[in-house]
């Protein structure tokens, strides 16, 4: 196996057993980037001289953790000291922070290498990045963490950080056929990550396997838990109703087949009815997000309005017009929704629903609907997507698991068990470039 194809777990074991050096791993990834980046456009900045120097140093050191010497991509809204951080906006095209985001500090302390900055939609909203989908470059990779998902899918890095306010980790991960993990709200530090909506923003990341998502979280939380496959089949609460009504038939068919497969392997499947408050989810999410986005940008927007993209310009303007009473009412409804959704998890290990409404949309103007992800951003519940197969159009489909707040370890074990039973192994080794 070529090093660029390795998961974090595989590369880490090879490094610790002196079968691979961090420099050899990095060189393989850089070669991979050279071969596919011109089609995928996943990266804003890669400082090759800096990261090669760091890899040489790491190759001479004892391994500090399972991330030692592992190159990781970082979404271009995370501050990186001495490395340009643009937020996907011309306003910040020359901005170079003098400090790292807390998350970047943590992975550096664990011995990981910051490979570069991955493309994001403008200010992590909807105005698209130039990134394409490696399964078919005429399709969107999703957003806002577009570059992170595409880079992991194509073997340009084994893991990459993103962020989610609506569906910006789970959706692109699903569209690109990789694992996407969004922990509980505020479990991971957002310090020096450019905000979009303070009470909805989540730090998250993409990996190739659930085990890798576990290893990354273990390092970030400085925990000593060991990965092992779950022995007892899980009890899973299956969501339909709203999700069945809104899913593309191809997505829903794949979803039902995946549920049947894990049920056949022993999973205890229970149908779960959504609470009455669920009908308010999207309206509440929209009000909170638009108001908080407007508050983040209010001062900058006054001076730089013409430099903002079309979508975010309208979004900020609409948020500025929302009455304070509407915002407070939305926050009150949010508390009701959270309490009622917690109740759904009392008798099962996790909930499950499709990761996306549809497969990756054709064209790069629209990054897809976050409708199946926004509920878990609003509630702050942890969620993870795993790839389960390809639709008729040969684009990936994901299965999304939702756990109780701060129940990450159990959620990872359940999704890892399902990942093994479903056993989807395909990756876009060669980006699909239609004639």
When pLDDT is averaged across residues 249-274 and rounded to a whole number, the result is: 98
Please report the beta strands in 144-252, taking only residues with DSSP state E, as ranges in sequence order. 159-164, 179-182, 202-207, 235-239
**pLDDT, mean over the chain:** 97
Two tokens, residue 124:
């992590």
What is the model's pLDDT at position 64?
80
With a pLDDT cut of 70, the percent of the chain lying above it is 100
What ranges do the domains of the chain cover? 1-272+344-435, 280-332
What is the pLDDT confidence band of residue 430, given thresholds at 50, 70 and 90? confident
What is the pLDDT confidence band of residue 433, given thresholds at 50, 70 and 90? confident
168 C-beta neighbours (distance < 10 Å), count: 34
Q: Does the pLDDT value for residue 2 go beyond 90?
A: yes
What is the model's pLDDT at position 186?
96
CA-CA distance, 294 to 306, in Å (whole number)? 15
Provide the 8-state DSSP code for 306.
Answer: G
CA-CA distance, 61 to 59, in Å (whole number)? 6
Specify whether the CB–CB gap between 11 and 158 falls below 8 A: yes
When pLDDT is averaged across residues 412-416 and rounded to a whole number, the result is: 98
What are φ and ψ of residue 191, in 5° steps? -60, 130
Could you read off the pLDDT of 268-305 as tens digits, one per residue? 999 999 999 999 999 999 999 999 999 999 999 999 99
What is the pLDDT confidence band of residue 406, given thresholds at 50, 70 and 90? very high
What is the model's pLDDT at position 118?
98
When pLDDT is averaged across residues 3-23 and rounded to a whole number, the result is: 97
Could you read off the pLDDT of 161-171 as tens digits, one per residue? 999 999 999 99
Peptide bond into 144 cis (omega under 30): yes
What is the pLDDT confidence band of residue 429, given thresholds at 50, 70 and 90? confident
Strand partners, 74: 117, 161
Could you read off the pLDDT of 165-189 as tens digits, one per residue? 999 999 999 999 999 999 999 999 9
What is the model's pLDDT at position 229?
86
When pLDDT is averaged across residues 104-119 and rounded to a whole number, the result is: 98
What is the model's pLDDT at position 137?
97
> Of 314, 359, 310, which Cα lies nearest the Cα of 142?
359
What is the model's pLDDT at position 372?
98
What is the model's pLDDT at position 432?
79
Strands 159-164 and 179-182: unpaired
CA-CA distance, 348 to 270, in Å (whole number)? 8
CA-CA distance, 37 to 31, in Å (whole number)? 10
What is the model's pLDDT at position 381?
98
Q: Does domain 1-272+344-435 correspond to CATH entry 3.90.1300.10? A: yes
> Of 352, 344, 357, which Cα lies nearest the Cα of 273?
344
18: buried, middle or exposed (CB in 10 Å: 19+, 13-18, 0-12)? exposed
What is the pLDDT confidence band of residue 431, given thresholds at 50, 70 and 90? confident
Two tokens, residue 240:
């339909």
What is the model's pLDDT at position 102?
98
With a pLDDT cut of 90, the percent of the chain lying above it is 96
Could you read off the pLDDT of 17-38 as tens digits, one per residue? 999 999 999 999 999 999 999 9
Burial 303-327 (b: 16+ CB within 10 A, else e): eeeeebbebbbebbeebeebeeeeb
CA-CA distance, 42 to 147, in Å (whole number)? 4
């Amino acid at each position: 196996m070529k090093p660029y194809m390795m998961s974090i777990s595989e590369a880490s074991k090879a490094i610790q057993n002196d079968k691979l050096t961090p420099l050899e791993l990095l060189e393989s990834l850089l070669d991979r980037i050279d071969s596919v980046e011109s089609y995928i456009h996943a990266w804003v900045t890669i400082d090759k001289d800096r990261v090669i120097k760091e890899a040489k140093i790491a190759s001479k050191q004892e391994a500090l953790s399972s991330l030692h010497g592992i190159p990781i991509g970082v979404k271009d809204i995370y501050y990186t000291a001495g490395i340009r951080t643009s937020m996907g906006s011309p306003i910040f095209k020359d901005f170079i922070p003098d400090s790292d985001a807390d998350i970047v500090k943590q992975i550096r302390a664990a011995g990981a290498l910051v490979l570069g900055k991955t493309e994001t939609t403008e200010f992590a909203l909807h105005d698209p990045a130039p990134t394409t989908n490696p399964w078919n470059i005429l399709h969107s990779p999703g957003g806002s963490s577009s570059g992170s998902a595409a880079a992991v899918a194509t073997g340009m890095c084994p893991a990459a950080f993103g962020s989610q306010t609506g569906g910006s980790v789970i959706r692109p991960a699903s569209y690109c056929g990789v694992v996407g993990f969004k922990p509980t709200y505020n479990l991971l530090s957002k310090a020096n990550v450019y905000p979009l909506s303070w009470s909805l923003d989540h730090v998250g990341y993409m990996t190739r396997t659930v085990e890798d998502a576990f290893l990354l979280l273990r390092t970030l939380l400085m925990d000593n838990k060991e990965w092992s496959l779950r022995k007892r089949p899980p009890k899973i609460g299956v969501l339909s109703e709203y999700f069945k009504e809104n899913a593309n038939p191809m997505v829903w068919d794949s979803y039902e087949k995946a549920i049947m497969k894990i049920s056949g392997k022993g999973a205890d499947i229970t149908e779960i009815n959504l609470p009455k408050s669920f009908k308010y989810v999207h309206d509440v999410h929209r009000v909170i997000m638009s108001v908080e986005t407007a508050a983040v940008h209010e001062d900058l927007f006054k001076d730089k309005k013409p430099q903002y993209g079309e979508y975010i310009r309208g979004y900020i303007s609409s948020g500025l017009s929302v009455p304070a009473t509407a915002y407070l009412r939305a926050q009150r409804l949010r508390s009701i929704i959270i309490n009622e959704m917690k109740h759904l998890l009392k008798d099962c290990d996790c909930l499950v629903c499709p990761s996306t409404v549809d497969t990756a949309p054709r064209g790069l103007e629209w990054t897809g609907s976050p409708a199946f992800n926004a509920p878990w951003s609003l509630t702050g519940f942890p969620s993870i997507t795993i790839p389960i197969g390809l639709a008729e159009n040969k684009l990936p489909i994901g299965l999304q698991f939702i756990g109780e707040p701060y129940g990450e370890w159990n959620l990872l074990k359940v999704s890892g068990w399902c990942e093994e039973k479903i056993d989807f192994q395909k990756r876009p080794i060669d980006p699909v470039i239609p004639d």
